[in-house]
Every structure is written in structure tokens, then in C-alpha cells.
Structure 1
């Protein structure tokens, strides 16, 4: 930019501060294409680059009365577009982080719901299997689930502790084929 161009631009900026539409139009016409190319290099998207340029000039017009430009006007415009780009990039990062966290939450929620449903189904299957067992075996199993010791079970049922252990062993074998995973979970 030559000295005469720099002086002319300074004059246009003074007129812009006073609200001169023609000065704004001249500044826009002078710098639009350069600013658009800069924005396009940042975002690699024609529409987004055009939006950045438009927003930069709207900002200039809205803040015209309080504008303080130390360096060249084009450098000021470049900084304005760069800030818009950085804000957009930060916004996308926040959205991406939110989406990741939300997806993790959904995945966890699905796991919890799936696990609860699976446990309910397994519990119902266990109840069905216990109903098929001889009454004494089922009773010993249910008492064992309540953390009652073999000695106490033997006393309650009026049988020996060895009989309780044998019946429990037979029960676990019968249930083990169907509920190996559940039995390990319950009695591990």
C-alpha cells in the first residue's frame, strides 16, 4: 500500500466513524476479496468463508464509532476473521466433547438397562429352575442365598450338616449346567 493509499484509507476510516455509507462501501470493495481468500484458507469452505467476511464487515459497521485501528485496516480485518475462526473452532470442540460425553452416557445407560433386564430374566429362570427341584434342595438353596450357615440350615430342617452340604452340591450341579455364570456370581 502506497503512502497516498494509506492516507486515503485513513480518510475513509475517519468518514466511516462518522457513519458515512460511501466510505464503508469503498473499504468493503477494496478489502473484500483479500479477506475472503484469507478466510477461505482458514476454513476451506466457500460459504463459511463468505459468512466470516460478512460478519467481519458487519462488526466494523456496528462498531464504527468506537473503532481504534493501530495498524492497517486489512490487518484489523484479518484479526477479526481469525478470532471468528478460533471461536468457531472452540465451539466445534465443545460440541464434539459434549457429543462424546453424551454418547458415553447413553452407552453406559444402555449397559445398565441391558444388565438390569438380563439380571431380571436370569432371576426368573432361576426361580423356574428352583420350582423344578425337590423341595428340600430348593429350600437349602434359598436359605444359603440369605447367607445362613450350613449348621443353621441343618438345625432348621432337622438334618445333618453333611446332608445340607451334599444337597447343596447336588443343587449347584443341576443349576450349574444352566446357570454357570449366575452361580459363580452368587457364591463366589
Structure 2
């Protein structure tokens, strides 16, 4: 029986290039624990470290014919583990960035939808209460808040005194404040209209 434990890495690699499974088994036994420790130091996860090392050995077996060894087999294996870990970290980073971006989008779109719904309901309520004002008061209020006309401009256009316009506005605001539930909603009203 041929014992491969006495072979050098170079001899094992040459046998492996020719498809020798025993040479592969010896390389695997020789380096698996060391590569696992190396991978674990880099990613601090036992299962992932095992997966990385397994993938490196599978890749070694699958691509052995194409591998042109520049240095030692140990250098090749350590580099392969490091690259797999870096790819894993990069893939997780991209995945985490995507998940975070998606979560932010969902949160902001829910907030926007909720805001728009509340804004629409509030605007509808405001329009209803403004429409319920006495006609002259409503006209003065709409000219002030919707058309952005000054009290003086409204007074001139409606042929009223400046005091009457101010009184109509004051009364309209009082009524709306009572109907819409407080100064906070009124301040929103004044911004929306």
C-alpha cells in the first residue's frame, strides 16, 4: 500500500493533476483543519468557515487541470480561502445594503401613503367646513387664504371696509377652530389652503 503522508506538497500536486484521488485525500487531510482555522478567524462563524473550506476543496478538484501553481499548494489554498471569504463578505454587504434600501423604501412609501391619505382626509374636512361658512364670510376667507389677497385688496374688491374684512376673517377662523378641533389643525389648515 502506498502511503501519501510522506510525499511533498509538490509531489501530491503533480499526482492530483493526473486525477489521483489519494493525493487529493492527503492534501485534504493535511490542510483542512488549518484552512478551517484561517477561515474562522476571518468570519467568526463555524458553519460558514466549514462551507468556505469545502468550497475551496471542491473547486480545487474541479479545476485542477486549469490550475498553474506559481507557489506552494498551501499558498494557493490559503489565498483561495481568503478570496472566498472576501466574496462572501462582499455578497453579504451587497445583500444587506439591498435589504436596508428596500426597508427604507417600504418605510418611506408607507409614511408617504399614510401622510397623503391623512392630508387628503384633512383637506376634504377643511373644504367641507369652509363651504359651510356663511356666504360672505366664506368669500372673504377664500379670497384671503386661497387667492392670497390682502385685507385691503378684499375690502376694495367687495366694496367693504377694512374692519369688516378683518371681522369676517376673525369670525371664520373662530368657527373653523371650533369645527376642526383646535389651533393645531387650524395651523395645518392655513398651510394647506
TM-score (norm: length of structure 1): 0.82
Report the counterpart of residue 166 of structure 1 in structure 2: 167
Contact preservation (8 Å) 2:143, 2:149: yes
Does residue 71 of structure 2 align to residue 71 of structure 1? yes
Q: Offset at 1:185?
A: 1.6
SS in 1 for 2:160: coil
Query: Aligned equivalents of 1:51 and 1:67: distance in 2?
Result: 21
Q: Deviations over 1:97-146 (max 9, x none)?
A: 22222222222212211211111111122123224322211122223313
Aligned ranges 1:30-179 → 2 under 5 Å = 30-144=30-144, 145-151=146-152, 153-154=154-155, 157-177=158-178, 178=181, 179=185
Aligned ranges 1:10-49 → 2 under 5 Å = 10-49=10-49
Report the counterpart of residue 181 of structure 1 in structure 2: 187
Q: Which structure has greater helix proportion?
A: 1
Q: Offset at 1:68?
A: 2.5
CA-based RMSD = 2.4
Q: Deviations over 1:48-71 (max 9, x none)?
A: 122111110111112211223333
Query: Aligned equivalents of 1:180 and 1:111: distance in 2?
Result: 22
Bigger drift between 116-125 and 171-180 goes to: 171-180
| C-alpha spacing 1:139/1:6, structure 2 compared with 1 (3 Å) | farther
Query: Aligned equivalents of 1:44 and 1:56: distance in 2?
Result: 18
Which ranges of structure 2 fall in alignment gaps of 5 or more residues?
A: none
Which ranges of structure 1 fall in alignment gaps of 5 or more residues?
A: none
Q: Offset at 1:7?
A: 6.0
Q: Offset at 1:147?
A: 2.8
Query: Aligned equivalents of 1:70 and 1:6: distance in 2?
Result: 22
TM-score (norm: length of structure 2): 0.80
